[in-house]
Amino acid sequence: SQTIHQWPATLVQPVGSPLSLECTVEGTSNPNLYWYRQAAGRGLQLLFYSVGIGQISSEVPQNLSASRPQDRQFILSSKKLLLSDSGFYLCAWTPLRGRVTEAFFGQGTRLTVV
């Protein structure tokens, strides 16, 4: 069965420090991968979307970047965190094709920038 791993679960980082969040998917090939951010009590903001290795689409220009070095690995990074980067970060994957192409989410990383 397919699983998605996202870590860490919580993170407290000082302003100006770097960030690296990792997401890996198991049990499937060629997934579409997503990074979302959710501010407290708010909706899901799509940050990055990837259809394949090295293929990244950025939906919102910001202080973050994403990379997909392997088929089932998606990394969210920042060189210098801002206070406004605080939030709940969710990785998700969807099948490349299929009758029901639901999104499967990781457990999320709650990032607090102090």
Partner 1 sequence: GQQVMQIPQYQHVQEGEDFTTYCNSSTTLSNIQWYKQRPGGHPVFLIQLVKSGEVKKQKRLTFQFGEAKKNSSLHITATQTTDVGTYFCAAYGGSQGNLIFGKGTKLSVKP
- 80 binds partner 1 per the rule CB under 8 A: no
d(CA 9, CA 3): 16
Would you report the helix, strand and coil content of the chain in percent, each value rounded to 5? 5, 55, 40
Question: Which of 44, 65, 73, 95 is close enough to bind partner 1 by CB under 8 A?
Answer: 44
Q: How far is the CB of 69 from partner 1 (least distance, A)?
A: 20
- 103 binds partner 1 per the rule CB under 8 A: yes
| Phi-psi domain of 40 (left: phi exceeds 0; alpha: psi -120 through 50; beta: other) | beta
Q: Of 14-22, 23-31, 68-76, 94-102, which segment contacts partner 1 by CB under 8 A?
A: 94-102
- 87 binds partner 1 per the rule CB under 8 A: no
Q: Which of 96, 111, 114, 101 is nearest to 38 (CA)?
A: 111
Footprint on this chain of partner 1 (rule: CB under 8 A): 32, 34, 36, 41-44, 46, 49, 51, 57, 59, 90, 92, 94, 100-108
